Protein backbone atom coordinates (compact mmCIF):
# COMPACT_ATOMS: atom_id res chain seq x y z
CA UNK A 1 0.00 0.00 0.00
CA UNK A 2 2.73 2.47 0.97
CA UNK A 3 6.31 2.44 -0.26
CA UNK A 4 9.29 4.15 1.36
CA UNK A 5 8.80 7.27 -0.79
CA UNK A 6 5.24 7.77 0.46
CA UNK A 7 6.07 7.94 4.18
CA UNK A 8 5.11 11.44 5.29
CA UNK A 9 6.15 13.75 8.09
CA UNK A 10 4.10 14.07 11.26
CA UNK A 11 3.08 17.57 10.13
CA UNK A 12 1.75 16.14 6.85
CA UNK A 13 -0.26 13.47 8.73
CA UNK A 14 -1.59 16.12 11.11
CA UNK A 15 -2.88 18.10 8.12
CA UNK A 16 -4.40 14.92 6.61
CA UNK A 17 -6.16 14.04 9.88
CA UNK A 18 -7.47 17.60 10.22
CA UNK A 19 -8.82 17.43 6.66
CA UNK A 20 -10.60 14.15 7.50
CA UNK A 21 -12.03 15.82 10.60
CA UNK A 22 -13.40 18.67 8.46
CA UNK A 23 -14.91 16.09 6.08
CA UNK A 24 -16.41 14.25 9.06
CA UNK A 25 -18.01 17.36 10.54
CA UNK A 26 -19.37 18.42 7.15
CA UNK A 27 -20.55 14.87 6.42
CA UNK A 28 -22.17 14.40 9.80
CA UNK A 29 -24.40 17.38 9.16
CA UNK A 30 -24.96 17.39 5.39
CA UNK A 31 -23.82 13.94 4.24
CA UNK A 32 -23.65 14.89 0.57
CA UNK A 33 -20.42 14.16 -1.20
CA UNK A 34 -18.38 12.88 1.73
CA UNK A 35 -17.61 9.64 -0.09
CA UNK A 36 -15.95 11.49 -2.96
CA UNK A 37 -14.14 13.78 -0.52
CA UNK A 38 -12.84 10.83 1.47
CA UNK A 39 -11.72 8.99 -1.69
CA UNK A 40 -9.88 12.12 -2.81
CA UNK A 41 -8.17 12.45 0.58
CA UNK A 42 -7.20 8.77 0.61
CA UNK A 43 -5.75 9.20 -2.87
CA UNK A 44 -3.69 12.16 -1.66
CA UNK A 45 -2.52 10.00 1.23
CA UNK A 46 -1.04 7.61 -1.32
CA UNK A 47 -3.58 4.80 -1.46
CA UNK A 48 -4.20 3.45 -4.95
CA UNK A 49 -6.31 0.32 -4.57
CA UNK A 50 -9.94 1.43 -4.93
CA UNK A 51 -11.32 -1.57 -3.06
CA UNK A 52 -9.12 -0.74 -0.06
CA UNK A 53 -9.99 2.94 -0.33
CA UNK A 54 -13.69 2.10 -0.58
CA UNK A 55 -13.48 -0.10 2.50
CA UNK A 56 -11.82 2.65 4.53
CA UNK A 57 -14.36 5.15 3.19
CA UNK A 58 -17.27 2.92 4.20
CA UNK A 59 -15.95 2.41 7.74
CA UNK A 60 -15.22 6.13 8.15
CA UNK A 61 -18.65 7.01 6.75
CA UNK A 62 -20.33 4.56 9.11
CA UNK A 63 -18.54 6.08 12.10
CA UNK A 64 -19.34 9.62 10.96
CA UNK A 65 -23.01 8.72 10.55
CA UNK A 66 -23.10 6.87 13.87
CA UNK A 67 -21.87 9.97 15.70
CA UNK A 68 -24.37 12.11 13.76
CA UNK A 69 -27.28 9.76 14.49
CA UNK A 70 -26.49 9.67 18.20
CA UNK A 71 -26.16 13.46 18.28
CA UNK A 72 -29.42 14.04 16.40
CA UNK A 73 -31.26 11.31 18.37
CA UNK A 74 -30.24 12.83 21.68
CA UNK A 75 -31.47 16.21 20.47
CA UNK A 76 -34.86 14.64 19.56
CA UNK A 77 -34.99 15.76 15.93
CA UNK A 78 -35.01 12.34 14.23
CA UNK A 79 -38.13 11.23 12.34
CA UNK A 80 -37.62 7.54 13.09
CA UNK A 81 -39.91 5.91 10.48
CA UNK A 82 -38.22 7.87 7.70
CA UNK A 83 -34.76 7.35 9.18
CA UNK A 84 -35.22 3.58 9.46
CA UNK A 85 -36.46 3.36 5.86
CA UNK A 86 -33.43 5.33 4.68
CA UNK A 87 -31.13 3.09 6.73
CA UNK A 88 -32.56 -0.04 5.12
CA UNK A 89 -32.25 1.44 1.63
CA UNK A 90 -28.68 2.57 2.33
CA UNK A 91 -27.69 -0.86 3.58
CA UNK A 92 -29.18 -2.53 0.51
CA UNK A 93 -27.51 -0.02 -1.80
CA UNK A 94 -24.14 -0.44 -0.09
CA UNK A 95 -24.33 -4.22 -0.32
CA UNK A 96 -25.32 -4.13 -3.99
CA UNK A 97 -22.83 -1.37 -4.82
CA UNK A 98 -19.92 -3.30 -3.34
CA UNK A 99 -20.74 -6.30 -5.53
CA UNK A 100 -21.02 -4.13 -8.62
CA UNK A 101 -17.74 -2.32 -7.83
CA UNK A 102 -15.88 -5.62 -7.48
CA UNK A 103 -17.44 -6.94 -10.67
CA UNK A 104 -16.63 -4.06 -13.02
CA UNK A 105 -12.93 -3.72 -12.17
CA UNK A 106 -10.89 -0.80 -10.91
CA UNK A 107 -10.31 1.04 -14.18
CA UNK A 108 -14.03 1.08 -15.01
CA UNK A 109 -14.83 1.99 -11.41
CA UNK A 110 -12.49 4.99 -11.60
CA UNK A 111 -14.17 6.13 -14.82
CA UNK A 112 -17.62 5.66 -13.26
CA UNK A 113 -16.61 7.73 -10.21
CA UNK A 114 -15.25 10.54 -12.39
CA UNK A 115 -18.25 10.55 -14.73
CA UNK A 116 -20.75 10.44 -11.86
CA UNK A 117 -18.98 13.25 -10.01
CA UNK A 118 -18.84 15.33 -13.19
CA UNK A 119 -22.52 14.83 -14.02
CA UNK A 120 -23.61 15.65 -10.46
CA UNK A 121 -21.39 18.76 -10.41
CA UNK A 122 -22.66 20.01 -13.76
CA UNK A 123 -26.27 19.35 -12.74
CA UNK A 124 -25.86 21.27 -9.49
CA UNK A 125 -24.12 24.18 -11.23
CA UNK A 126 -26.87 24.27 -13.85
CA UNK A 127 -29.57 24.37 -11.18
CA UNK A 128 -27.68 27.07 -9.31
CA UNK A 129 -27.25 29.30 -12.35
CA UNK A 130 -30.69 29.03 -13.94
What are the Cα distances from residue 84, in Å, to 27, 30, 128?
A: 19, 18, 31
- Specify the DSSP class assigned to residue 79: -
Q: Which residues neighbour 6 within 8 Å (Cβ) at sequence distance 6 or greater?
A: 46
Measured between alpha carbons, how far is 57 from 72 in angstroms, rounded to an integer?
22
- Specify the DSSP class assigned to residue 85: H
Residue 8 pLDDT class (50, 70, 90 cuts) = low
- Asked whether the predicted pLDDT for residue 5 surpasses 50, the reply is no
pLDDT at 6: 52
Measured between alpha carbons, how far is 113 from 104 in angstroms, rounded to an integer?
12
Query: Could you report the per-residue pLDDT of 59-74, keeping only the tens digit for each?
Result: 999 999 899 889 989 9
- Asked whether the predicted pLDDT for residue 4 surpasses 50, the reply is no
Amino acid sequence: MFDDASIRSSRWWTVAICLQLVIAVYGGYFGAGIGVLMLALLGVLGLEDLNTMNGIKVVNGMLINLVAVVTFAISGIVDWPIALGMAAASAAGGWAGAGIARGIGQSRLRIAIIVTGGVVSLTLFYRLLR
